[in-house]
Amino acid sequence: MLAYIIRRVLISIPVLIGSTILVFIMVKLSGDPLEGIKLRNPPPPPATIKLEEHRLGLDQSWPLQYWDWLKGLVLHGNFGQAVQPTENIGADIGSHLWVTVRLVFFSVLIALILAIITGVVSAIRQYSVTDYTATFFGFLFLSMPVFWFAVLLKEAGIWFNRSTGTKTFFTIGDKSPYLPSDTAWAHISDVAGHMVLPTIVLGLAGYAGWTRFTRASMLEVLNSDHVRLARAKGLRSRKVLIRHALRNALIPLTTVTALDIAALLGGAILTEQVFQWNGMGTLFVKALQQKDAHMMMGWLLVSATIVIVFNLIADILYGILDPRIRHA
């Protein structure tokens, strides 16, 4: 297992480097990051522009710019110079990443719990009212774009707050700028309150596809020979369902969940924009607007690493869910 993990990590390194090269070229082709400075009226002195170009490495060739960025990242953990001289790319990614990670984590957790429960119940009670109801809501949330659902839910929260004269749902920001008390519980409850609506949006977006996948996988396993044999041996229905059916049905769901993490990160960008969260989505949009190649490459490097790690975790879980699977 250890050799397999090391091999997967080594294979992931060229993937990460290749993705950063592609993003670097795309950002470079998008325009000049110093365009805003050059278009000022009155224009800045040429010496000022020369200093900014030297600070950002724009006075060098593209291969040399990329090599300097990669060397600084590997040797010193430096993500490079930001277009705005007052910003630190590493610190910005760290602070924004925590905001997005907690949103995606709880969204995935809620989506998996709902998908497994409804998928299993739908498979057991196939073609029943419960199955049709779960199917309807699954297709409903699957057909709704994430940004559209986020806007609807935000407007619903605003309408409810106005109708009741309360502040039940937080619709702006990932936390309140000012709190009546500075206790730990006040901060935790405030952050949790701001997470309710965005978590529902991302959670239901993931749940929609996963519940259909769980249902199909459970139906296939329930009709397999080893489940019929377990029932013929007189095992209890709950034991057959959990140990023999559900455990095997979770293997393909693990693959789909790991692969959909990338889609959820993309959905988090849109959701954060709707609810005005200061997460990785905001950082992504800011890097695009500023044509900041170093910030975009840092953003992609972190996002791609998360996707690779989740896929590695999925491969490891295969051996736990099914002992017959061995990683050579």
Over range 138-143, report the average pLDDT: 88
pLDDT digits (tens, 9 = 90+) for 250-279: 888 888 887 787 777 777 888 888 998 888
The Cβ of residue 203 has, within 10 Å, a number of other Cβ atoms equal to 24
Comparing 251 with 102, which gets the higher pLDDT? 102
Distances (CA, A) of 32 to 39, 47, 89, 141: 11, 17, 19, 41
Domains, the chain: 2-76 (no CATH), 92-321 (1.10.3720.10)
Return the pLDDT at 323: 65
Comparing 130 with 232, which gets the higher pLDDT? 130
| pLDDT bracket for residue 158 (50, 70, 90) | very high
Q: Which amino acid is at 111?
A: A
What CA–CA distance (Å, rounded) separates 172 from 213? 34
Please compute, for residue 144, the number of CA atoms within 13 A of its CA located in the half-sphere on the CB side.
22
Return the pLDDT at 326: 61
Q: What is the pTM of this model?
A: 0.81
